[in-house]
Structures are given as structure tokens and as C-alpha cells.
Amino acid sequence: MTNFNKCNIKFKFEFGSIEQRSMNITAMCNNKCYTVDKSGVIEFGIVLPTTIILNVSGKNYNTDTIVDADGNILQDIFVKIDSITIDNFPLNKLFLHQRITLSTDTDQNITSSYFGFNGTAAIELKENTVFAQLLSMNS
């Protein structure tokens, strides 16, 4: 019997670096930790419903954001989610930009796919089929 609650989730990240320093990101799901491969991708199998925790770390706020005399950011290190797919179905831009909230180590909640702070973001997948999960995330 095929389980329509089993699927693959794939995150593609873009990293901004300064002098080869960049942030780290890992994904935790069901007590397993997944790390980024060379192409900036984390991919693993999940069983719905579940929660995925993205852990963003490695940024030194004193050295990893370079600003000019007026406070304008000249260089920054960051992690950005380029795309998330579930069984190759892309989640739309609305989800990426408005549904992911990073709880930072500076006690802020920032809703964005651009992570410029260390922290964690929980992605809750509450549905029990891929069909329902995707359509609820994309609407």
C-alpha cells in the first residue's frame, strides 16, 4: 500500500559570504539532523504530518556585517531559501516570503526567507497527505 503521506522535501539555499565566512544551516526532523550538500541543498524523506526545524548559526554580528559611516550595509553574510519543493512540487513565493518566521538569538521574530541572524525557524507540515499539504501551503 502506497502511503500518500510519505514524500521528499528539498530546500535550496543561497549563501552570502565575507572572506569565505558564511553561515551554517541544518534541518532537524524526527530527531534527525540534515546538513547542506555542496550545491546548497538539503533533501530528505518525511512522513506527514511533521515539523521541520531550520537551525541557522555561525554569524558573528560584530564582524560579519560591514557597514559604512552612515550605517548602510556594505557586506553581509546570510542564508536565503531559494526554493522548497515537496516531491518536486514547488512552494510558492507567498509561502517563502510570508510564512517562514525566524526566531533569532536576539529575541526577534522575522518573517522572511532571508536569514541574516542566527536562530531557528519551524516549518509545520500539519496535513496528512502531500496533496492537502501542498495546496494548503500554496494558498
Window 52 to 91, contacts with another protein (CB under 8 A)? 87-89
Q: Verify binding: residue 127, another protein, rule CB under 8 A.
A: yes
Residues that bind another protein (rule: CB under 8 A) add up to a total of 14
Q: Verify binding: residue 41, another protein, rule CB under 8 A.
A: no
Q: Verify binding: residue 110, another protein, rule CB under 8 A.
A: no
Q: Verify binding: residue 129, another protein, rule CB under 8 A.
A: yes
Question: Is the distance from CB of 64 to CB of 18 less than 8 angstroms?
Answer: yes
CA distance 123 to 52: 5
Interface with another protein (CB under 8 A), residue from 35, 62, 72, 139 = 139
Interface with another protein (CB under 8 A), residue from 33, 67, 94, 135 = 135
Q: Verify binding: residue 12, another protein, rule CB under 8 A.
A: no
Q: Verify binding: residue 124, another protein, rule CB under 8 A.
A: no
Q: How far is the CB of 87 from another protein (least distance, A)?
A: 7
CA distance 86 to 91: 8
Beta strands in 69-138 (DSSP E): 73-76, 78-86, 89-90, 101-104, 109-111, 114-115, 119-125
Q: Specify the pairing of strand 24-29 against strand 50-57.
A: antiparallel
Q: How far is the CB of 127 from another protein (least distance, A)?
A: 7
Interface with another protein (CB under 8 A), residue from 14, 67, 97, 131 = 131
Q: Which amino acid is at 115?
A: F
The number of CA neighbours under 13 Å toward the Cβ of 126 is 4
